[in-house]
């Protein structure tokens, strides 16, 4: 395999947290530069927070610094010229066993600088939500802007692979992962890069996160450059190189070190450890050779650091487990993680991976921090008895803290718990509404694509219709059934949800229909379902309601409909909606207008010979000032501009055949036709 160049950056998208709006606000990374006040960027491990922070730090007026280095610095004023924004990367890497300790340390340093503008990055799970927000607001006099770094979508992942691994079949790799329920791997830039390494090696692609990291680390210690085949590291056993790297990784994480130094022993930089000290540890005699592998990156001045924190956590746990298996007691090993306050936030990943490398250690890790084992580690290969213990520990956590997942709503690799042998254990946890809401969400969303879905099909179907349940539980149950292909009679399912009549019922009916395709039911039912969700119904309560129910209506959902289906949809939209829409709120009117224009444009593209009377009847009844999708309005206007024969035929119909009693009405309608 040829050496791979450093990853080419992909422009990132972020979701701005806005508690006053139900509509996600998505921004691109360039917009971060113009945000005023403190900014916090949150994301999962390996999602690219550091790459993004470094990219921002390269811009004029911004200064990049690692959080741990910033906190250790006795003269932080030297880091930042006046008026520049400090980009502080890696809040989660500051060792702290107390809640909020990392933010306190950062704010303490910022106070010495007179509270300059800053951008702070952190792992989602290590951000303490309201407690951290209040501290920042108290010190800065304004709330922090919270940005959630979005994962790669499939298009991003394909672009990343094509740019960084041009020899790899990008679509084939992504399909392999998707077919095995491992989409989360390609949504994460770090794990995607490792997948690229593996795919470029022509080896079989992995089926779990642990397999991925193991295979990638094996590749990273291989020497591919023939000019270095005589080097020491090229002849060392891969396992010895990995354990030596793990010895440094564990030391770095446990001691909060900044790097590994291989220069003169008397000139060790602050915060670094000498390579000789690591070599003296068990199973670490090849550390000097390991420095010359792609596991490490050079910082200059004979300082090195591991390629990524996720790799450090994986290899550090591998080494600690080997020490345990060589005679170090579990008590001594876990004493390294501190006493009395749980697992420090900066060590949760290291702690979690121990559960993968040794079953005895797994039981201790599960009891101490079950969510981290699930969140950071890999439950796929756990023995059934350990997995059952993990479920019990998660239930106990849910009893102590029902909202343990409140600041961390991403999808997680809980598929390792989706085993038929655990059916009764899982059913006991998800069976009662309001008992374990956050845990239920975690488990039910992991069922999508698993064999357990079929075993729990009746229970999931009941959950989908259960009005006593939180909407998220019902939606995820529907997702699991949909992915299994077990929503057999869609029309009956939609009608039942609409008949139940609640706001959540109508929302769920629309989302299920939209996911499966509008063309899977009659257009009359499709329109009624959309209208019910956005509040265009015969109910006076719905019509007078000012709530903002936005139905995601994708262009693709309309584009796949046939000409006949589009005509039926437009007729149903008018017949059902015209008597009701005038009394609906602004949001509902706008969404109806978007639906009609989007379907109308597509219908005209497929059938430009549509009768002028039909064109007029299907399009004229919506207010030309309404609608959110201005691009659709413009596209429809441009279509009529490019098809003058159709436009003139419709205008002739309006003036002479539409039945207007007065020339004034005909003139107004004629003008409206030009804007339809």
Distances (CA, A) of 581 to 187, 506, 536, 612: 41, 18, 6, 24
Beta carbons within 8 Å of 69's beta carbon, 6+ residues apart: 258, 271
DSSP code, position 84: P
CA distance linking residue 286 with residue 242, whole number of Å: 9
Identify the domain boundary among 123, 150, 177: 150
Model confidence band, residue 378 (pLDDT cutoffs 50, 70, 90): confident
Rg of the chain (C-alpha set): 29
Model confidence band, residue 1 (pLDDT cutoffs 50, 70, 90): very low
CA distance linking residue 402 with residue 398, whole number of Å: 5
Pair 371, 512 in one domain = no
Reported as a single tens digit per residue, the pLDDT across 74-112 is 888 887 777 789 999 988 777 554 544 689 999 999 999
Buried b (16+ CB within 10 A) or exposed e, 56-67: bbeeeebbbbbb
Pair 499, 646 in one domain = yes
Pair 522, 402 in one domain = no
Whether 87 maps to a domain, the answer reads: yes
Distances (CA, A) of 501 to 11, 45, 410, 495, 558: 43, 41, 30, 10, 26
Phi, psi of 614 (to 5 degrees): -70, -40
| Residue 223 in this model has a pLDDT that exceeds 80 | no
CATH at 87: 3.40.50.300
Query: Of 141-150, 371-380, 616-625, 662-671, which gets the smallest average pLDDT?
Result: 662-671
Buried b (16+ CB within 10 A) or exposed e, 15-32: ebbeeeeeeeeebebeeb
Pair 508, 645 in one domain = yes
Whether 280 maps to a domain, the answer reads: no
Q: Provide the residue range defining the domain that includes 517.
A: 489-675
Among the residues of 113-237, which ranges form H helices? 130-140, 154-164, 170-179, 183-187, 189-200, 209-220, 232-235
**DSSP secondary structure of 576-600:** HHHHHHTTS-HHHHHHHHHHHHHHH
Is the distance from CB of 536 to CB of 580 less than 8 angstroms?
yes
Pairing, β 62-66 against β 85-89: parallel
Beta carbons within 8 Å of 273's beta carbon, 6+ residues apart: 248, 251, 252, 255, 257, 259, 260, 261
Q: Which of 121, 117, 54, 114 is nearest to 94 (CA)?
A: 121
Q: Which of 502, 504, 442 is nearest to 476 (CA)?
A: 442
pLDDT, position 232? 60
Can you tell me the mean pLDDT for 315-329? 97
Beta carbons within 8 Å of 205's beta carbon, 6+ residues apart: 173, 176, 177, 195, 198, 199
Pair 572, 669 in one domain = yes
Phi, psi of 300 (to 5 degrees): 100, 155
Query: Of 22-31, 162-171, 269-278, which gets the smallest average pLDDT?
Result: 22-31
CA distance linking residue 170 with residue 41, whole number of Å: 29
Pair 383, 503 in one domain = no
**Count of C-beta atoms within a 10 Å radius of residue 320:** 28
- Token couple for 294: 């792609």
Where do we find the tokens 């409140």?
406
Pair 516, 387 in one domain = no
Can you tell me the mean pLDDT for 596-609? 95
Q: Tell me the percentage of the chain whose pLDDT exceeds 70.
A: 88
Pair 559, 658 in one domain = yes
Model confidence band, residue 233 (pLDDT cutoffs 50, 70, 90): low
End-to-end CA distance of the chain: 58
Whether 427 maps to a domain, the answer reads: no
Whether 434 maps to a domain, the answer reads: no
Whether 363 maps to a domain, the answer reads: yes
Reported as a single tens digit per residue, the pLDDT across 457-513 is 999 999 999 999 999 999 999 999 998 888 879 999 999 999 999 999 999 999 999
DSSP code, position 19: T
CA distance linking residue 558 with residue 601, whole number of Å: 10
Higher pLDDT residue, 180 or 261? 261
Q: Provide the mean pLDDT of the chain.
A: 86
Query: Of 173-187, 234-248, 380-394, which gets the smallest average pLDDT?
Result: 173-187
Whether 313 maps to a domain, the answer reads: no
- Token couple for 339: 């006493």
Where do we find the tokens 């790097």?
259
Reported as a single tens digit per residue, the pLDDT across 641-657 is 899 899 888 888 877 77
Name the 3-class secondary structure at 160.
helix
Identify the domain boundary among 389, 417, 445: 417
pLDDT, position 287? 95
CA distance linking residue 405 with residue 266, whole number of Å: 47
Is the distance from CB of 660 to CB of 651 less than 8 angstroms?
no
Pair 498, 619 in one domain = yes
Looking at the 3D structure of the chain, how many domains does it have? 3
CA distance linking residue 351 with residue 373, whole number of Å: 8
Pairing, β 303-306 against β 259-261: antiparallel
CA distance linking residue 595 with residue 552, whole number of Å: 11
pLDDT, position 99? 47
CA distance linking residue 549 with residue 346, whole number of Å: 40
Is the distance from CB of 97 to CB of 105 less than 8 angstroms?
no
Higher pLDDT residue, 522 or 410? 522
Quote the pTM value: 0.70
Whether 61 maps to a domain, the answer reads: yes
Beta carbons within 8 Å of 122's beta carbon, 6+ residues apart: 40, 41, 42, 49, 90, 91, 92, 102
Is the distance from CB of 344 to CB of 97 less than 8 angstroms?
yes
Whether 379 maps to a domain, the answer reads: yes
Pair 399, 516 in one domain = no
Q: 418: number of CA atoms within 13 Å, CB side?
A: 22
Pair 496, 632 in one domain = yes
- Token couple for 530: 């959309």
Beta carbons within 8 Å of 119's beta carbon, 6+ residues apart: 32, 38, 39, 40, 41, 53, 56, 62, 85, 86, 87, 88
- Give CB contacts under 8 A, 24+ apart, made by 136-142: 136/38, 136/40, 136/103, 136/107, 139/107, 139/110, 139/111, 139/115, 140/37, 140/38, 140/115, 142/37, 142/38
CA distance linking residue 215 with residue 617, whole number of Å: 62
Pair 135, 55 in one domain = yes
């Amino acid at each position: 395999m040829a050496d791979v160049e450093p990853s080419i950056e992909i422009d990132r998208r972020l979701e701005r947290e806005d508690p006053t709006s139900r509509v996600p606000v998505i921004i691109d990374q360039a917009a971060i530069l113009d945000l005023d006040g403190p900014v916090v960027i949150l994301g999962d491990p390996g999602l690219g927070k550091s790459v993004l922070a470094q990219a921002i730090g390269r811009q004029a007026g911004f200064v990049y610094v690692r959080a741990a280095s910033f906190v250790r610095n006795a003269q932080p004023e030297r880091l930042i010229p006046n008026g520049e924004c400090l980009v502080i990367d890696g809040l989660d890497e500051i060792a702290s066993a107390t809640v909020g300790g990392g933010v306190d340390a950062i704010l303490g340093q910022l106070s010495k600088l007179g509270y300059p503008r800053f951008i702070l990055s952190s792992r989602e799970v290590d951000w303490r939500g309201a407690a951290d927000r209040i501290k920042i607001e108290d010190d800065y006099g304004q709330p922090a802007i919270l940005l959630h770094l979005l994962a790669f979508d499939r298009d991003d992942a394909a672009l990343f692979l094509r740019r960084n691994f041009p020899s790899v079949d990008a679509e084939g790799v992504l399909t392999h992962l998707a077919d095995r329920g491992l989409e989360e791997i390609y949504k994460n830039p770090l794990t995607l890069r490792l997948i690229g390494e593996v795919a470029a090696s022509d080896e079989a692609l992995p089926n779990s996160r642990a397999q991925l990291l193991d295979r990638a680390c094996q590749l990273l210690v291989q020497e591919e450059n023939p000019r270095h085949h005589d080097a020491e590291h090229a002849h060392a056993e891969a396992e010895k190189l990995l354990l030596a790297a793990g010895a440094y990784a564990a030391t770095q994480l446990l001691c909060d070190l900044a790097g590994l130094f291989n220069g003169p022993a008397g000139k060790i930089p602050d915060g670094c450890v000498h390579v000789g000290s690591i070599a003296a540890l068990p199973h670490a005699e090849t550390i000097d050779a390991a420095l010359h592998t792609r596991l490490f990156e050079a910082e200059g001045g004979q300082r090195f650091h591991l390629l990524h924190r996720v790799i450090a956590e994986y290899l550090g746990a591998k080494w600690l487990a080997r020490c345990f298996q060589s005679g170090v007691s579990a008590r001594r090993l876990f004493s390294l993680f501190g006493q009395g306050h749980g697992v420090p936030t900066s060590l949760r990943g290291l702690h979690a991976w121990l559960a993968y490398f040794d079953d005895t250690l797994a039981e201790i890790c599960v009891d101490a921090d079950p969510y981290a084992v699930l969140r950071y580690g890999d439950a796929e290969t756990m023995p059934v008895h350990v997995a059952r213990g993990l479920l019990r520990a998660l239930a106990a956590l849910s009893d102590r803290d029902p909202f343990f997942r409140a600041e961390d709503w991403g999808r997680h690799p809980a598929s390792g718990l989706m085993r038929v042998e655990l059916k009764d254990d899982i059913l006991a946890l998800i069976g009662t509404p309001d008992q374990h809401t956050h845990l239920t969400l975690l488990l039910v969303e992991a069922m999508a694509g698993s064999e357990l879905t079929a075993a729990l099909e009746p229970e999931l179907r009941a959950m989908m219709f259960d009005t006593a349940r939180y909407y998220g539980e019902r939606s995820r149950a529907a997702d699991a059934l949909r992915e299994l292909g077990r929503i057999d009679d869609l029309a009956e399912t939609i009608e039942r949800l609409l008949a139940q009549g609640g706001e959540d019922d109508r929302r769920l009916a629309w989302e299920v229909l939209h996911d499966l395709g509008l063309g899977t039911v009659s257009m009359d039912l499709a329109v009624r379902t959309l209208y019910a969700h956005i509040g265009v119904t015969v109910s006076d309560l719905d019509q007078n309601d000012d709530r903002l129910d936005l139905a995601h209506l994708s262009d693709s959902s309309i584009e796949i409909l046939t000409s006949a289906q589009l005509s039926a949809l437009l007729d149903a939209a008018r017949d059902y909606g015209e008597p009701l829409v005038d009394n609906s709120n602004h949001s509902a009117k706008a969404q109806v207008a978007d639906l009609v224009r989007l379907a109308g444009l597509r219908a005209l593209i497929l059938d430009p010979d549509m009768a002028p009377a039909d064109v007029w009847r299907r399009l004229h009844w919506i207010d030309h000032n309404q609608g959110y999708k201005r691009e659709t309005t413009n596209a429809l206007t441009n279509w009529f501009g490019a098809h003058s024969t159709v436009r003139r035929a419709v205008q002739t119909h309006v003036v002479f055949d539409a039945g207007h009693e007065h020339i004034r009405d005909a003139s107004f309608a004629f003008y409206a036709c030009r804007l339809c």
